[in-house]
Structure 1
Amino acid sequence: MKFKMKKQFKKVINANGRMTILGVSKISDNVIEGMKFAGTNFFVMDDFKKQVNDEIKKIIKTENLCIVNSASAGISLSVASSIYKDRIYDVNKEIPEKNEIIIPKGHNIDFGAPIENLIYLVGGKVIEAGYSNTCSKSDIEYRISDKTAALVYVVSHHCVQKNMLSLSEMIEIAKNNKIPLIVDCAAEEEIEYYASLNIDAVIFSGSKAIEGPTSGLVFGKNKELIDNLYKHTKVIGRPMKIGKENIYGLLVAIRDYKQNKNLNEKEYLSVFETNEWYESKIVYDERKIPRIRLIFNNKINAKNISNLLKTGEISVYLRDYLANQNILDIDLRNMNEEDSKYIKNQIEEIIKGEMK
């Protein structure tokens, strides 16, 4: 029997980015075929996981790797491995004194879930270093003690960007003090670059830049930490289990992955030409992701436009982190030309309606 959708879901145009609240990203027909292959066959799962792991390791050029069901699971399991090592049955039952996890205060973020809760989940104790607007090498070093189990560093637009120590500085501290470093860069693009760095555990989402199914990757230089992490997937990680179809779908997505896909941002800019209501231009974030920026004049409320766009017959989500400065950004990665024209027309209709 052919599948029939019982209810028509509201269409969404995602001009916000690879956001979990919008289903993250679109997966290709090739990835769907891979998931179908895995979903319609049986495997000896340990052998299957090892084969997939080995192939992904070759593609991204890393020595150690474990597939998990999400980047969030990767955080909890990396912390569990750092605290308990291979004592997989002790999690939250016999918590060692060495359970402190140091994180820059400006990195203790809520990216849809508070990162500190993912640490507390496995018995870690969060130790914030520095302040919300500054954290230096010395701030991290000041917090290190004989109770420190790991350092955590987050690479994300959600984090405070100014006056924070660099990733290379955090790596240096970790190596000098022989403390595991866990780096969460779930939405980053440069997977081979992060695999080349001297980091114990790097965490990537499989469903964001890679455009795979719901999944995550933990890879890095610390073989013991990642081997123990795999052991933890069988106990505390059991509720975070990833299925065979998503494991294989992730492999197909990584095979097909092309960083910084060509986007015709100038063509999109021509749709959103500067006019009497806003100035438009192309901007790039620190990952070189192109966006169209609309800078509205003082007579127009950008936050109001963003909210009203969500309520239309088709919900439109723009990137409104700077709406309080009367700026809206349009992330182009999940869009097509038809989407951009629809967004432009909706913005114009809202403005005209508001100015009546």
Structure 2
Amino acid sequence: MTPVINAAGSFTPLGVSRSSFQVAQSAAKALQSFFVINELQALASERLSTFCGCEAAAVTHCVSAAITQAVAACIAGTDPDAVAALPDPQGRANAVVIPEVHCVNYGHPLTTDIRLAGATVIRAGGEDACSLRDIEKALDQPGVCCLLLVSSRLTTIQDLDMRGAVGAARRRGIPVVIDGAAQDMRIGDLLGTGADAVLVSAHKYMASPTAGLVLGTRAFVERFRAQEVGVGRAMKPSKEAIVGVLAALEERQAQDPHAWRQEQDRKVAMAVALLGHCPGIHATAEPDPVGMPFQRVRVRFLKGANVARTVVQNLKAGRPSIWVMEHQLDQGVIMLELVALTEDEIRQVIEAIRFALAAQAPR
């Protein structure tokens, strides 16, 4: 197997995160035990809702699964016949409104998750902008069952009025779901919009086994869990995932947020300082665009995108294989996320960048 240093963040193709020994041990112990899964779900609901400040919660396989199951909940509710019929909506309202700027691709189109539930997609606004009026116009179309919003650094704009959009849907009696997959440190902000449910990944920055968390109203979580005997059957969480979520939650509760942020700032400052000695690049600290409490390192290659691409190729080809964020590569920029990395790994990344740059220098 290829050894990897992951400076690309909570990136699914690299396994997302590294669990602590305690979380891994809890999951391993669960694998050797039997449970009444409904009791585990009830315990998870109690602990997650207490920590997050919502009425109820549930665990599913991942946020991609949670989107499908949440949309199914908006179509079928708790009606057993309707649940069993999906993805055939049988004439029920099944249109999901989503801003065009929120139709992100996490490795596949988010709209695929919507359609898997038997829903159709109504895109509000355009590729570069979405106003509250655009959302209201879409919500007024016939057959709307849900408004889906996305909080992610991958959305093309970050200034959409989330509270206003939620309010517009609620005035029309339309439930609202927010996909906040990588936003588990902003749950309070997202719930504060008034959405019926917020979906986050437990396996990203909480570093649990793979699991999606559904946090919201008691009524919505009941409808969500009703889908477990329908389309949600293929999306069920494992026992070790639920137990691992509970262990990861304990660690998050014990964490000192201020000290954690200071440590992240220290790592970023160290990396920027070390990269400052590398000719041909300009490194700066950059805050997360949607408000997660850490910075990333922005590395701009002064000779442009071709040099940046070659460096990225060389980083991946090395041992260990080093992966970085490439979404700005066409601009000659890479991003380094250091949250999961040790100081030694950060130094290895910087040395590899230095070596890759030196290999391109004229001789």
Task: Please give the TM-score of this superposition, normalised by the length of structure 2.
Answer: 0.90
Query: Match of 1:235, as an amino acid?
Result: G
Deviation at 1:134, TM superposition (A): 0.8
Deviation at 1:42, TM superposition (A): 1.5
* Percent of pairs with identical residues: 25
Query: Match of 1:53, as an amino acid?
Result: S
Partner residue of 1:215? 211
What is the distance in 1 between the residues matched to 2:152 and 2:269?
26
Partner residue of 1:333? 339
Unaligned runs of 5+ in 2: none
**Residue 218 of structure 1 aligns to a residue in which SS?**
strand
Determine if contact 2:271/2:350 at 8 Å carries over to the other structure. Answer: no
What is the distance in 2 between the residues matched to 1:197 and 1:37?
38
Determine if contact 1:84/1:96 at 8 Å carries over to the other structure. Answer: no
Partner residue of 1:313? 319
Partner residue of 2:148? 152
User: Residues 67-92 of structure 1, C-alpha deviation per residue, up to 9 Å, x if partnerless?
Assistant: 11101111001000001111311212
Partner residue of 2:65? 73
**Residue 43 of structure 1 aligns to a residue in which SS?**
coil
Q: What is the correspondence of 1:123-134 to structure 2 with a 5 Å cutoff? A: 123-134=118-129
Determine if contact 1:207/1:213 at 8 Å carries over to the other structure. Answer: yes
Which is richer in helix?
2
What is the distance in 2 between the residues matched to 1:94 and 1:125?
10
Query: Match of 2:61, as an amino acid?
Result: N
**Residue 313 of structure 1 aligns to a residue in which SS?**
coil
User: Residues 161-181 of structure 1, C-alpha deviation per residue, up to 9 Å, x if partnerless?
Assistant: 15x522112111122211100
1:230 aligned to 2:225?
yes
Deviation at 1:194, TM superposition (A): 2.8
Partner residue of 1:278? 281
Determine if contact 1:68/1:240 at 8 Å carries over to the other structure. Answer: yes
What is the distance in 2 between the residues matched to 1:348 and 1:75?
42
Task: Please give the TM-score of this superposition, normalised by the length of structure 1.
Answer: 0.92
Query: Match of 1:232, as an amino acid?
Result: Q
Q: What is the correspondence of 1:4-23 to structure 2 with a 5 Å cutoff? A: 9-23=1-15
Determine if contact 1:62/1:196 at 8 Å carries over to the other structure. Answer: no
Unaligned runs of 5+ in 1: 1-8
What is the distance in 1 between the residues matched to 2:283 and 2:277?
5
Query: Match of 1:209, as an amino acid?
Result: Y
Query: Match of 2:214, as an amino acid?
Result: V
Q: Cα–Cα, structure 1 residues 94 and 351, in superposed 2: closer, same or farther, change >3 Å?
A: closer
Deviation at 1:330, TM superposition (A): 1.2
1:304 aligned to 2:317?
no
What is the distance in 2 between the residues matched to 1:27 and 1:15?
16
**Residue 233 of structure 1 aligns to a residue in which SS?**
helix
Q: What is the correspondence of 1:177-188 to structure 2 with a 5 Å cutoff? A: 177-188=172-183
1:323 aligned to 2:323?
no
Determine if contact 1:206/1:250 at 8 Å carries over to the other structure. Answer: yes
Q: Cα–Cα, structure 1 residues 168 and 352, in superposed 2: closer, same or farther, change >3 Å?
A: same
What is the distance in 1 between the residues matched to 2:271 and 2:210?
29
Query: Match of 1:316, as an amino acid?
Result: I
Partner residue of 2:298? 293
Q: Cα–Cα, structure 1 residues 27 and 11, in superposed 2: closer, same or farther, change >3 Å?
A: same
**Aligned partner (choices 194, 199, 202) of residue 195 of structure 2:** 199
Deviation at 1:118, TM superposition (A): 0.7
42-51 or 74-83, larger mean C-alpha shift = 42-51
What is the distance in 1 between the residues matched to 2:193 and 2:250?
21
**Residue 304 of structure 1 aligns to a residue in which SS?**
helix
